[in-house]
Amino acid sequence: MNIGQKLKNTRMAAGLTQESVAEKIGVSRQTISNWENDKSYPDIINVIALSNLYSISLDELLKEDLKMVEYLQESTDIVKSKQKLSRLVLIIAYLVIWALSIVVFWLGGNQDAMGYSLVIFYFVLPISTLIISVFIGKGDGWTNVKWLMLLFFGIMNTLAPYFTFSLCNMIAFKKFNMPDAAGFLSGIICAAIGMAIGSMIKAAAKKKLDCSQNSTSK
């Protein structure tokens, strides 16, 4: 039996309509219809959601449908590629903001040291770190590298004042100074808060989905 027929049979056995299933997993009714008529395949995320919703194992759901298995393998590779691209975009976005902050200093921001410090070191960089860290916390592709990202934000938060005020002083007094590590901890803390917020948003969304599926299965 192909995946479409299995999805239809298990949905009907669970006493659900296409409309209710579509609402539960966040797709259109037409999408459910297309899956059940083999016009298209659900991706791995939706397959798992349907498996939970219908209380049927993935093995039983996918058994004997080689085309579906091949499709899932391909879609999984696509998901991984999208995750890598998403990670790259977030890192580049932060680096661009960080670099522009340094450029602004050398283009005239150093003329108003107090104003520049307040805007860049107490607003722009912390807010950028916080927002990007929220996306990291929400994302599925950061699990094994979150601690590296904490170090990354800590280091970048340390280097920002070093490549601005410290470098300016070194040039003026012709004296080399090491970076001040005071900003390292604050960068890590800011990133950790953002990741925690992102993780809570992700957990809340998962809990909502689980509750929705449980209420349907009762």
User: Percentage of residues in the chain with pLDDT exceeding 70?
Assistant: 87
Say if residue 216's pLDDT is above 70: no
Give the helix ranges, DSSP H, for the chain: 3-13, 18-25, 29-36, 44-54, 58-62, 66-106, 113-116, 125-138, 146-161, 167-173, 182-217
pLDDT at 130: 96
Mean pLDDT of the chain: 86
The 8-class DSSP code of residue 39 comes to S
Whether 114 and 195 share a structural domain: yes
Asked, for residue 213, whether it belongs to a domain, the answer is no
Whether 46 and 88 share a structural domain: no
Last residue of a domain, one of 64, 88, 108: 64
Query: Residue 33: which residues within 8 A CB-CB, separation 6 or more?
Result: 18, 39
Say if residue 93's pLDDT is above 80: yes
- Report yes or no: 125 and 163 within 8 Å, Cβ to Cβ: no
Domain containing 9 equals 3-64
**pLDDT band of 68, cuts 50, 70, 90:** low
pLDDT at 170: 94
Its sign, for the CA torsion 40, 45, 47, 53, is: negative
Is residue 165 classed as helix, strand or coil in its secondary structure?
A: helix
Asked, for residue 146, whether it belongs to a domain, the answer is yes
Whether 136 and 201 share a structural domain: yes
pLDDT at 57: 82
The more confident residue out of 119 and 60 is: 119
- In order, the DSSP letters of 44-65 are HHHHHHHHHHHT--HHHHHTT-
CA trace torsion 78, 79, 85, 90 (10° rounding): 170
pLDDT at 86: 87
pLDDT at 141: 75
Whether 97 and 7 share a structural domain: no
Mean pLDDT for 195-217 is: 75
Whether 86 and 194 share a structural domain: yes
Say if residue 67's pLDDT is above 80: no
Q: Which secondary-structure segment (H or E) carries 208?
A: helix 182-217
Whether 86 and 142 share a structural domain: yes
pLDDT at 214: 55
Say if residue 64's pLDDT is above 60: no
Whether 151 and 120 share a structural domain: yes
Whether 138 and 103 share a structural domain: yes
Whether 122 and 198 share a structural domain: yes
Asked, for residue 118, whether it belongs to a domain, the answer is yes
**pLDDT band of 190, cuts 50, 70, 90:** very high
Mean pLDDT for 35-47 is: 83
Last residue of a domain, one of 13, 43, 64: 64
Number of domains in the chain: 2
Asked, for residue 217, whether it belongs to a domain, the answer is no
Last residue of a domain, one of 64, 84, 104: 64
CATH code of the domain containing 16: 1.10.260.40
Query: Residue 10: which residues within 8 A CB-CB, separation 6 or more?
Result: 50, 54, 56, 61
Whether 36 and 97 share a structural domain: no
Asked, for residue 215, whether it belongs to a domain, the answer is no
The more confident residue out of 126 and 86 is: 126
Say if residue 153's pLDDT is above 80: yes
Asked, for residue 189, whether it belongs to a domain, the answer is yes
**Verdict on whether the full-model pTM lies above 0.75:** no
Whether 26 and 96 share a structural domain: no
Whether 59 and 81 share a structural domain: no
